[in-house]
A and B are shown apart, each in its own frame.
Chain A
Amino acid sequence: MDLTETTRAALAALFPGATAPAAPATEDETTSAAAEPAPLGVSVLDPARAGTWLAVHCRPDQVVEAARILDGQGFFLESIAGVDWPDSGQMEVLYDYNRLGGATCRVLVHARVARDEPVLPTISSVFPAADWHERETFDFYGIRFEGHANLIRILLPEDADFHPLRKDYLP
């Protein structure tokens, strides 16, 4: 089995009820309309177009389990990014994982939270790299990561009272 297939099979454990998705049917996921959340599950993408091999759409409480699975497969955390979707009343957190050496298999984990109560569990206990990336996402979006040991602002001044990357923030 190649790396993408092994990783997909490992991540499928997150969604026990789901039937194995037919790979060709998920190819169009690359450019699915971003504003509306995609159904939960693992999908195979076209890396030439998306720069990503696998996409995982999961519930916020599953991000730690996803991190554990990828940690076990030898992945490293590349970055964490927030996205604000005010029209659907949600915020999204994007976790990028990749392999450090050998074949490349970038995995993008999506999780959506309510915009008025943006809370997710921290994955910094699995990957210490998440510590600063989660602080940055908190700084820019006000998304809180429960269990984070030191969730304070990282790039903005400590007395800032705004989260600048929210779409309704105007300087």
Chain B
Amino acid sequence: MNVPVHLRPDETFVLNLGPQHPATHGVLRVKLTMDGEYIVQAEPVLGYIHRMHEKLAEAGTFAQFMPNTARMDYLHALAFNHGWALVVEKAAGIEVPERAEYIRVITVELNRIASHLLWWAAFLLDLGGFTPLLYAFDDREQIIDLLERVTGSRLTYCYMRFGGVYNDIDDEFITGTRAFIQRLRGRLPRIYHDLVTHNIILIKRIKDIGFVSAEQCRRYGATGPVARGSGISYDVRKNEPYSVYPEFDFDIPVFPEGDSMARYMVRMHEIEQSLRIIEQALDKLPGGPVMGKAPKMLKPEAGYYYSAVETARGSLGHRLVCDGGKNPYKLKLRSPTFSNLSLFGEVAEGMLLADALAFMGSLDLVIPEIDR
């Protein structure tokens, strides 16, 4: 029997989104106060996949924490490898051979493309388009095969070591990567842009939806494509250069609109820029060893250290405190989406639920990286 529901004009109700909801891509829960289809208040509830990596870091040696890094942002695991290697190398004063840094950059950028492709696929799936996922996974599979060849893993990489990388790349990897660059360059305009980017349904779903201002990014500490989609030219690779990034000629895509479409465009252009970086790195790849001299047991000097890298989702920081012992005394992981998500509540206020989900997808959330 259908009983009509009469709400008073000021009456609201609470709606739980998640923690088991396909649109949250993991175990994020959002407590929504709704006025009909409109959001009055949105409060993300975190911690459903919290594993306390920071305590695990204190319980082991510096090297023992390397496998953990890949288990936070499992989509851009090599950037987390890289960030941890860089902060420990900084603290312990370890030199890295040039060839190793080139290989790090090549693999990190390949991984960044794979991350953006998976975001693209999942985002469109959220919006109701299934076919793009098949194209994106086809391309992503090529990257995973290439990375598996050198790192030994397909997703949770533990490839970097303090002082270098554990395995050199071979000719087959180089040939395969060059072929992949050609392949993706051909497919980006034909498939990705013609089929999806210029599609009127997509544009109507995400253009002028989920507006984030540059000032909001600053107040909430949002970085990565979220900040760059709001007109802020901030990329750790340019603003605080690390590794061998200064050797390469690449641009930082910035879109000033601040809506979900701008964040979409930033990531699509970043794929092209990553291809440029990989191509230049392969051309300039120096010879030599891929592992420098590093002591087996590290005991960095007591002090406070910080190192930042740019992951696919923004600025990842490691705040490391050492007391001269063989274990990290304290490690704080500043994960980019933790800060990016914190502005969700303010922006989602007054939005339609369906628009808020499109906005959430454009933030590119990886829940294990928020919860750590």
With an 8 A cutoff between CB atoms, is B111 at the interface? no
Stretch from B32-40, B125-133, B163-171, B220-228 contacting the other chain:
B220-228
Residues of B within 8 A of A84 (CB): 330
Q: How far is the CA of A37 from the CA of B302 in the complex (A)?
A: 13
A78 engages B239 (CB within 8 Å)? no
B199-234 contacts to A, CB under 8 A, are 217-221, 223, 227, 232-234
B302 engages A33 (CB within 8 Å)? yes
With an 8 A cutoff between CB atoms, is B299 at the interface? no
A76-B218, A79-B332, A155-B50 are contacts. A32–B372 as well, Cβ < 8 Å? no
B319 engages A34 (CB within 8 Å)? no
A31-B302, A34-B322, A100-B227 are contacts. A81–B330 as well, Cβ < 8 Å? yes
Q: How far is the CA of A83 from the CA of B321 in the complex (A)?
A: 8
Q: How far is the CA of A171 from the CA of B56 in the complex (A)?
A: 11
Q: How far is the CB of B369 from chain A (nearest CB, A)?
A: 12
Q: How far is the CA of A107 from the CA of B308 in the complex (A)?
A: 14
A98-152 contacts to B, CB under 8 A, are 99-104, 106, 108, 127-129, 131-132, 140
With an 8 A cutoff between CB atoms, is A17 at the interface? no
For the residues of A in contact with B, the DSSP-based class is loop
Stretch from A5-13, A49-57, A58-66 contacting the other chain:
A49-57
Residue of A nearest to B235 (CB): A101
Q: Report the tally of A-B residue pairs with Cβ distances under 8 A.
A: 114
With an 8 A cutoff between CB atoms, is A16 at the interface? no
With an 8 A cutoff between CB atoms, is B29 at the interface? no
Within 8 Å by CB of A164, from B55, B217, B304, B346, lies B55
A100 engages B346 (CB within 8 Å)? no
Residues of A within 8 A of B258 (CB): none
A100 engages B217 (CB within 8 Å)? yes
Q: How far is the CA of A103 from the CA of B329 in the complex (A)?
A: 30
Stretch from B265-273, B289-297, B334-342 contacting the other chain:
B334-342
A100 engages B218 (CB within 8 Å)? yes
Within 8 Å by CB of A154, from B46, B87, B315, lies B46
Q: How far is the CB of B85 from chain A (nearest CB, A)?
A: 14
Residues of B within 8 A of A35 (CB): 302, 323
Within 8 Å by CB of B232, from A77, A100, A127, A128, lies A100
B50 engages A108 (CB within 8 Å)? no
Q: How far is the CB of B93 from chain A (nearest CB, A)?
A: 8
Residues of B within 8 A of A69 (CB): none
Residues of A within 8 A of B240 (CB): 104
Write the B114-149 contact mask toward A (1 if CB under 8 angstroms, else 0).
000000000000000000000000000000000000
Write the B315-359 contact mask toward A (1 if CB under 8 angstroms, else 0).
101010111000001101010001100110010000000000000
Residues of B within 8 A of A157 (CB): 47
Within 8 Å by CB of B234, from A31, A94, A101, A106, lies A101
Q: How far is the CB of B333 from chain A (nearest CB, A)?
A: 9
The 8 closest A-B pairs by CB, nearest first: A51-B306, A81-B332, A31-B303, A79-B334, A129-B221, A155-B47, A155-B50, A101-B234
